[in-house]
Chain A
Amino acid sequence: MLLAFFVLACQLWRLQVLEGPANNEAAAANSIRSQVLPAARGVVYDRDGHLLAANAPAFTVSVVEPDLPAERRDQVLGELAQIMAITPDQIEQTIARRRGAASPLDPIPIRTAASRQVAMTIEEHSWQLPGINVTVESARQYPDGDLLGHVLGYLAQPSPEDYEQHYRGDGYAMSDQVGVAGLEATYEAVLRGQKGARWREVDVAGRPLRELGTVAAEPGQNLQLTLDVGLQRVATDVLRRQLPKGSSGVAIIMDPRNGDILALVSEPDFDPNVFSQPDRSDQVARLLSDPNLPLFDRAVSAQYPPGSTFKLAVGIGALQEGVANRNTHIRSEGGLRVPNPYNPALSTWFPDWAVLGDLNFLQGLALSSNVYFATLAGGFQNFQGLGAEKVAQYARMMGYGVATGIDLPGEEAGRVPTPDWKQTNFNEPWFLGDTYNMAIGQGFVLATPLQVANLTNLIANNGNVVRPHLGKAILNQQGAVTQDLTPAPLRHLDLRSDVLSVVREGMLGTLDTTQLRGQMLQNIRVAGKTGTAEYVGPRDSSGNLPTHGWFTAFAPYENPQITITVFVEHGGGPSTAVPLAMEILRSYFGQPTPVR
């Protein structure tokens, strides 16, 4: 008897005194839970203070698995499913999908935007629903809907793999929503804020009993954009009304002096609100399966042959290198005959779009003569051209072939081909015909609409390569600017003083042609460059390849304030892109649209 008591006493000594501290820790780990206090995400304003991205309260229903009593698990989940009008299986599947990526005590979100009704019902029944949490978080709201889908982007929960690789280390919880597209992604670090924490003592069912301490959350900083939402709406409306059916298009309006983007439209656009509202998941599915790719931001991520807009780069190079001046005369007989380098008896016809006759530089640019610029680039007979290498060098200098560095994710760099590039990729030498094609923005050249816009910027601002940007400033909670986001120009092109003025003068002539004169604005002179780029696709009835239409312009001519670049898939430059751009410009300058 005494022996048994002695053994018990020894065991108690071991448990309580020797292993006491360890057991104490185990007991604390049982009962002390930290709860994350989410930080309010920063909001986004346009340049005039219009709210573009805001927060609305959203209820998240989640399950803390260890708090689910094992013997009542089915019953609890059954009740929860009934309240949420889903099946218990769906809950189990969500749990199974999300389990294991984080610590087992992390709440597993079942629904991230539950209705107030559901949230209240669960709260009322919380004693019958151990292990079920309802937290109030904020859901992102985009008041302008599908006006700014590409620009603002949206938030989403990262996949478990993404979470492990990119987010876990930065203090994100698995259930956190992060910016995954548009500015929400670029400025994630600015907008997200700093989470707080609250430590509470909880009972075995996870119900809080006592506060132990709190560290308040710090809300994210607010973002002001260069964007003018009114202009964005005008440009979007014009594109939606005027684009050929089933087509797509881009309109970029910028301030050439600093690279501020005033409007950035890529049609079709999407409503980013569908991503924060689970009951609209069918719309997400539709967006993902739409053959017209509404989630694809063509303004920065699509690469097209720039067509005749590329002649601007060729012209600048030719003027700077002395290959041409404003009085250089070249005759367009309707095309150039390009001899075959292997067999002089054979040749290829490089056509101009018409027999344009004798042209000086200004006329060549205004009329967009292919012969004129092919000759400047590749030379013809006695005329010594720039050569492919020089054309490529100037194109790069002006921002082609390199991403502009816009503060949006997914920007593409375009392509500036060189003889070396062709040899490497096609195992073929560079022919004169390649230089001619390159001169008119065809063949191997590819550019994003944003790159075309940025070339116009540097022409308008007299040689500064600016960095296009949407972020204007970071504001604190009181609205004061804590950081100016306007980037300094990337570089200044050291060109002879008359080069860009000659190009500008040539661009001024574009609208002063028979075809386009009717598009001119009252009292404000617009200088621009059209482009109609062929691409490989089904030919039309007359055997022509399909084309994309371009128009890039600046205004007013004397003192450029804005540049506009319009791109129309399956369109023509003068026929489609110009009227769209001019309608937007008329609206910008407050002029009525002429009745046609």
Chain B
Amino acid sequence: MNARSLGTPWRQADPLLLTTTLALAGLGTILVISATWHYTEPPSIVHNPWLLKQVLFLFLGLAAMVFCATTRAAALRNLAFVFYGISLLILVAVAIAGKGSIENGADAQRWLEIGGLQLQPSEPAKLALILALARVFSSRPPGLQTTLLSAITAGVPIGLVYIEPNLGTALSMLAIWLGMLVLSGTPKRYLAATLALNLMALPVLWMGMHDYMRQRILTFLNPQAYALTDGYNLLQAQISIGSGGLWGKGLFEGTQTQLRYLRLSHSDFIFSVLGEELGFVGSMLLLVLFAILLFRVFRAYEMAQGRFSALIAAGIASLIAFQVVANIGGNVGMNPLAGIPLPLLSYGGSALVTQLAGLGLVQATLISRRLYRFEV
């Protein structure tokens, strides 16, 4: 009996992972409404371009998730380097012809404009990297050769993204690589060596940084000193979160958000909107939802049949875990802000579709696992 003839066994997917995914994406949509409520004058749901795009991409993302859930490891494995190659080409294209964004004060070239929609190719490039790394790690036993090969595979897109410049995505990709390196069972001595090399690279990295990146780190270290310039956002974010108190001011009631003291509230600082309007209780709820999500993805990693499938789950888990911690940590002032969006919540279509597609791939590992088990 052939798997294909059975159809896709949807009931073998992880319903808890799906529920959590939908809950987070739904919460994100609500928070984007709140964060952009006063971006238009007068406030409107119907004529809010941010909301319209976010909902559009949510449906696109859900479609992508369903589609990805139907894919099978073998096909993905074959196409992994094709995707990877295409993503590298696009990243090069962005570097040459991309449309800059001045929001960080740098000449960032991150966008490709297609049909009036701005796409950020570095987001799907994360998925391509996960696939490529999964293939690298699953093709050879862990060891020096595999480690070096994976470093090159990750290093090229990281470098391309870094020179865009897009520090946040570069760091996310680095996190993907490191997470997969660990979860692929790389011997401890290579892990230690990698860590040491990374630490040694820090001063070089600092020297090579763009001014805006350095400024972000300086601002993080002493936000008060930059209270009216770069530190403003950080201070207002903390005031926003803190003023939410235990229960929050209520959705659409946050003065910091609604009166626009909090800037970039729909993207980098969406967590601050949640903190202000839903309080400590809402923040904890969000952390619990992300914890469940990550545990379910990790569970998929452990239950997956075949290293390739397992490593995809490992990559997705690494990506989401890193972005959650880096984004919330940045909002509450524990680490520098690196322009890393909060997965499933921050406004941004490319990221949303990529994350949902990635979670679809995680579901696929579970679905295909069952498929193999019941194959006669």
Contact = CB atoms under 8 A, between A and B. Distances in A.
B287 interface: yes
A19 interface: yes
Interface size class of A (residues with CB under 8 A): 20 to 34
B228 A16 contact: no
Tell me if A's interface is mostly helix, strand, loop or mixed.
helix
Interface string A1-44: 11011011101110111011111101110110000000000000
Contact of B287 (A9, A17, A127, A209): A9
Interface in B223-262: 228-229, 236, 238-246, 255-256, 258-261
Interface stretch (A200-208, A394-402, A556-564, A568-576): A200-208
B244 A203 contact: no
B334 A8 contact: yes
Nearest to B229: A70
Interface in B277-329: 279-280, 283-284, 287, 290-291, 294, 321, 325, 328-329
Contacts, number: 102
B260 A203 contact: yes
A31 B259 contact: yes
B334 A24 contact: no
A12 B334 contact: no
Contact of B283 (A12, A31, A202): A12
A318 to B, nearest CB: 79
B38 interface: yes
Nearest to B325: A4
Given A17-B280, A19-B242, A26-B243, A8 B287 contact: yes
Contacts of A127: 41
A16 B259 contact: no
Contacts of A70: 228-229
Given A27-B240, A31-B259, A31-B261, A203 B38 contact: yes
* Residue in A1, A127, A201, A203 whose Cβ sees the most chain B Cβ within 10 Å: A1
Contacts of A11: 329, 332-334
Interface in A209-239: 209
Contact of A12 (B260, B284, B291, B294): B284
A350 B329 CA distance: 100
B275 interface: yes
Contacts of A31: 255-256, 259, 261
B261 A22 contact: no
Contact of A20 (B41, B243, B329): B243
Given A4-B325, A9-B284, A203 B259 contact: yes
B245 A27 contact: no
Contacts of A204: 259-261
Contacts of A203: 38, 258-261
Contacts of B38: 203
A16 B287 contact: no
B334 A7 contact: yes
Contact of B255 (A17, A21, A201): A201
A68 to B, nearest CB: 11
A16 B334 contact: no
A28 B242 CA distance: 12
Contacts of A21: 245
Interface string A55-79: 0000000000000001000000000
A24 B287 contact: no
Interface in A373-395: none
Contacts of B290: 5
A209 B290 CA distance: 36
A151 B241 CA distance: 60
Contacts of B333: 11
Contacts of B243: 20, 23-24, 26-27
B329 A16 contact: no
A25 to B, nearest CB: 8
A4 B239 CA distance: 22
B332 A8 contact: yes
Contacts of A23: 238-239, 241-243
Given A16-B242, A26-B243, A27-B243, A5 B287 contact: yes
B255 A30 contact: yes
A54 B276 CA distance: 51
Nearest to A202: B259
Contact of B241 (A2, A12, A22, A201): A12
Contact of A30 (B229, B244, B245, B259): B259
B239 A16 contact: no
B242 to A, nearest CB: 3
A201 B261 CA distance: 12
A12 B280 contact: yes
A19 B246 CA distance: 11
A15 B241 CA distance: 7
Contacts of A16: 241-242, 244-246, 275, 279-280, 283
Interface string A105-134: 000000000000000000000010000000
Contacts of B244: 16, 20
A8 B283 CA distance: 10
A167 to B, nearest CB: 29
A21 B241 CA distance: 11
Nearest to A127: B41
Contacts of B240: 27
A15 B238 contact: yes
Contacts of B275: 12, 15-16
Contacts of B255: 27-28, 30-31, 201
A184 B97 CA distance: 70
Interface in B186-245: 228-229, 236, 238-245
A22 B229 CA distance: 22
Contacts of B276: 27
Contact of B239 (A12, A13, A30): A30
A16 B256 CA distance: 14
A17 B259 contact: no
B118 to A, nearest CB: 22
Closest 3 A/B residue pairs (Cβ): A23-B242, A27-B243, A20-B245
19 contacts: A2-B291, A4-B321, A8-B332, A8-B334, A9-B284, A12-B280, A16-B244, A16-B283, A17-B280, A20-B242, A23-B241, A23-B242, A24-B243, A26-B239, A27-B239, A201-B259, A203-B260, A203-B261, A205-B260
Given A12-B332, A16-B280, A24-B245, 6 more contacts: A8-B332, A11-B332, A16-B246, A30-B256, A203-B261, A205-B260
